[in-house]
Structure 1
Amino acid sequence: MKRAILLLGATSALAISSPAQAQTIDTGELPRNTEEVIVITAARTQLPASALPLTIDVIDREQLARQVQISGSTVDAVSALLPSFSPTREKLSGAGESLRGRSPLYAINGIPQSTPVRDGSRDGYTIDPFFIDRVEVIYGSNALQGIGATGGVVNQVTVGAPLRDGIAIRALAQVTTSDTFEGEGIGAKIGSLVGYRAGAFDTSVGATVERRGAFFDANGNRIGVDGTQGELQDSDSWSVFARFGYDLAPTTRLEVVANRFELEGNANYVLVPGNRAAGIPATSIRGETPGDPPSNTAELLSGSLIDSDLNGGTFTLQGFYSRTDDVFGGGIFGTFQDPRIDPAGQLFDQSANQSRKLGGKVSYERGVPGMDDLVLTVGFDALFDRTQQRLAQTDRVWVPETDFRSLAPFVQGNLALAGDVVRLAGGLRYENVQLSVGDYETLFSYGPVQVSGGNPSFEDLLWNAGVIVEPAEGLRAYGSYAEGFTIADVGRILRGISTPNVDIDDFLSLEPVVSNNRELGLEYDRGPLTASASYFWSSSDFGSLLVLRNDVFEVERQPIEIEGFEASLAWRTPLPGLLLSGGYAALEGQTDGDADGLVDEDLDGANISPDRINLAADYTTGPLSARLQARMYLSREFNDVATATDFEGYTLLDAFIAYQTSIGEFSLAAQNIADEFYITYDSDTVRVTDNNRFYAGRGRTFTLGWRGTF
Structure 2
Amino acid sequence: MYRYLVGALALAPLSPAFAQSVDASASASPEETSDTAIVVTAARTQLPASALPLTVDVIDSAALDRQVLISGSTVDAVSALLPSFSPTREKLSGAGESLRGRAPLYAINGIPQTTPVRDGSRDGYTIDPFFIDRVEVIYGSNALQGIGATGGVLNQVTVGAPQRDGLSMRTLFQLSFPDGFEGEGIGAKAGAMAGYRDGAFDATVGGTFEKRGAFFDGKGNRVGVDGTQGEIQDSDSWSAFGRFGYDLASGARLEVVANRFELKGNANYVQVAGDRATGAPSTSERGTTPGDPPSNTAELLSFSLTDPDFGAGTFALQGFYSRTSDVYGGGVYGTFQDPAIDPTGTLFDQSANRSRKLGGKVSYEREMPGLEDLVLTAGFDALFDRTAQTLAQTGRVWVPESDFRSLAPFVQGNLALAGGLVRLAGGLRYENVQLKVDDFTTLASYGAVNVAGGSPSFENLLLNGGVVVEPIDGLRAYGSYAEGFTIADVGRILRGITQPGVDVDDYLSLEPVISNNRELGLEWNRGGVTASASYFWSSSDLGSLLVLRNDVFEVMRQPIEIEGFEASLAWQTPVPGLSLSGGYAALEGKTDADEDGQIDDDLDGANISPDRVNLAADYSSGRFSARAQARMYLEREFNDAATDTDFEGYTLLDAFLSYRADFGEISLAAQNLTDKFYISYDSDTVRVTDNNRFFSGRGRTFTVSLRSEF
After TM superposition, give the deviation of residue 26 of structure 1 in Å.
Answer: 5.3
Cα contact 1:265–1:294 (8 A) shared by 2: yes
Q: 1:474 to 1:507 in 2, by over 3 A?
A: closer
Map 1:261-276 → 2, pairs under 5 A? 261-276=261-276
After TM superposition, give the deviation of residue 344 of structure 1 in Å.
Answer: 3.0
Cα contact 2:493–2:555 (8 A) shared by 1: no
Q: Partner residue of 1:14?
A: 20
Q: Partner residue of 1:144?
A: 144
Q: Partner residue of 1:245?
A: 245
What is the one-letter code of the residue matched to 1:129?
P
Question: Structure 2: how far apart are the matches of 1:441 and 1:564?
Answer: 43
Cα contact 2:546–2:606 (8 A) shared by 1: no
Cα contact 2:27–2:82 (8 A) shared by 1: no
After TM superposition, give the deviation of residue 28 of structure 1 in Å.
Answer: 6.4
Q: Partner residue of 1:457?
A: 457
Q: Partner residue of 2:678?
A: 678
Q: 1:431 to 1:75 in 2, by over 3 A?
A: same
Map 1:80-479 → 2, pairs under 5 A? 80-479=80-479
Question: Structure 2: how far apart are the matches of 1:481 and 1:90?
Answer: 33
Question: Structure 2: how far apart are the matches of 1:555 and 1:74?
Answer: 27
Report the secondary structure of 2:50's partner residue: helix
After TM superposition, give the deviation of residue 562 of structure 1 in Å.
Answer: 1.1
What is the one-letter code of the residue matched to 1:532?
S
Cα contact 2:28–2:570 (8 A) shared by 1: no
After TM superposition, give the deviation of residue 442 of structure 1 in Å.
Answer: 2.3
Cα contact 1:17–1:477 (8 A) shared by 2: no
Deviates most, 250-259 or 156-165: 250-259
Q: 1:608 to 1:670 in 2, by over 3 A?
A: same
Q: 1:429 to 1:50 in 2, by over 3 A?
A: same
Question: Structure 2: how far apart are the matches of 1:154 and 1:206?
Answer: 23
Q: 1:235 to 1:542 in 2, by over 3 A?
A: same
Q: Partner residue of 1:583?
A: 583
Cα contact 2:149–2:485 (8 A) shared by 1: yes
Percent identity, aligned pairs only?
Answer: 77
Residue ranges of structure 2 left out of the alignment (5+ in a row): 548-553
Map 1:507-656 → 2, pairs under 5 A? 507-544=507-544, 558-656=558-656
Report the secondary structure of 1:338's partner residue: coil
After TM superposition, give the deviation of residue 597 of structure 1 in Å.
Answer: 2.2
Question: Structure 1: how far apart are the matches of 2:324 and 2:304?
Answer: 21
Cα contact 2:22–2:569 (8 A) shared by 1: no
Cα contact 1:25–1:58 (8 A) shared by 2: no
Cα contact 2:26–2:568 (8 A) shared by 1: no
What is the one-letter code of the residue matched to 2:367?
G
Cα contact 2:493–2:509 (8 A) shared by 1: no
Q: 1:25 to 1:6 in 2, by over 3 A?
A: closer
Question: Structure 1: how far apart are the matches of 2:18 and 2:184?
Answer: 51
After TM superposition, give the deviation of residue 15 of structure 1 in Å.
Answer: 3.0
Q: 1:32 to 1:120 in 2, by over 3 A?
A: closer
Deviation digits for residues 631-669 of structure 1, max 9, x if unmatched? 111111111111111111111000000001110011100
Deviation digits for residues 530-558 of structure 1, max 9, x if unmatched? 111111111111121599xxxxxx99762
Cα contact 2:26–2:584 (8 A) shared by 1: no
Cα contact 2:73–2:129 (8 A) shared by 1: yes
Cα contact 2:488–2:555 (8 A) shared by 1: yes
Determine if the alignment matches structure 1 residue 70 to structure 2 residue 76.
no
Report the secondary structure of 2:692's partner residue: helix
Question: Structure 2: how far apart are the matches of 1:5 and 1:360?
Answer: 46
What is the one-letter code of the residue matched to 1:609?
S
After TM superposition, give the deviation of residue 250 of structure 1 in Å.
Answer: 4.3
After TM superposition, give the deviation of residue 378 of structure 1 in Å.
Answer: 0.4
TM-score w.r.t. length of structure 1: 0.95
Question: Structure 2: how far apart are the matches of 1:252 and 1:650?
Answer: 51
Report the secondary structure of 1:249's partner residue: coil
Deviation digits for residues 276-302 of structure 1, max 9, x if unmatched? 110000000000000000000000000
Report the secondary structure of 2:596's partner residue: coil
Q: 1:169 to 1:593 in 2, by over 3 A?
A: same
Question: Structure 2: how far apart are the matches of 1:12 and 1:565?
Answer: 16
What is the one-letter code of the residue matched to 1:521?
G
Question: Structure 2: how far apart are the matches of 1:263 and 1:531?
Answer: 39
What is the one-letter code of the residue matched to 1:271?
Q
After TM superposition, give the deviation of residue 309 of structure 1 in Å.
Answer: 0.5
Deviates most, 188-197 or 485-494: 485-494
Question: Structure 2: how far apart are the matches of 1:630 and 1:310?
Answer: 48
Report the secondary structure of 1:471's partner residue: coil
What is the one-letter code of the residue matched to 2:238?
W
Residue ranges of structure 1 left out of the alignment (5+ in a row): 548-553
Deviation digits for residues 72-109 of structure 1, max 9, x if unmatched? 00000000001111110000000111111111110000
Cα contact 1:27–1:616 (8 A) shared by 2: no
What is the one-letter code of the residue matched to 1:331?
G
Question: Structure 1: how far apart are the matches of 2:189 and 2:109?
Answer: 24
Report the secondary structure of 1:566's partner residue: strand
What is the one-letter code of the residue matched to 1:463?
L
What is the one-letter code of the residue matched to 1:682?
D
Report the secondary structure of 1:330's partner residue: strand
Question: Structure 2: how far apart are the matches of 1:650 and 1:446?
Answer: 40
Question: Structure 1: how far apart are the matches of 2:23 and 2:412?
Answer: 22
Number of residue pairs the alignment of both structures matches: 698
Q: 1:664 to 1:164 in 2, by over 3 A?
A: same
TM-score w.r.t. length of structure 2: 0.95
Q: Partner residue of 1:487?
A: 487
Q: 1:82 to 1:23 in 2, by over 3 A?
A: closer
Cα contact 1:379–1:411 (8 A) shared by 2: yes
Question: Structure 2: how far apart are the matches of 1:448 and 1:24?
Answer: 50
Cα contact 1:213–1:233 (8 A) shared by 2: yes
After TM superposition, give the deviation of residue 488 of structure 1 in Å.
Answer: 1.1
After TM superposition, give the deviation of residue 4 of structure 1 in Å.
Answer: 3.2
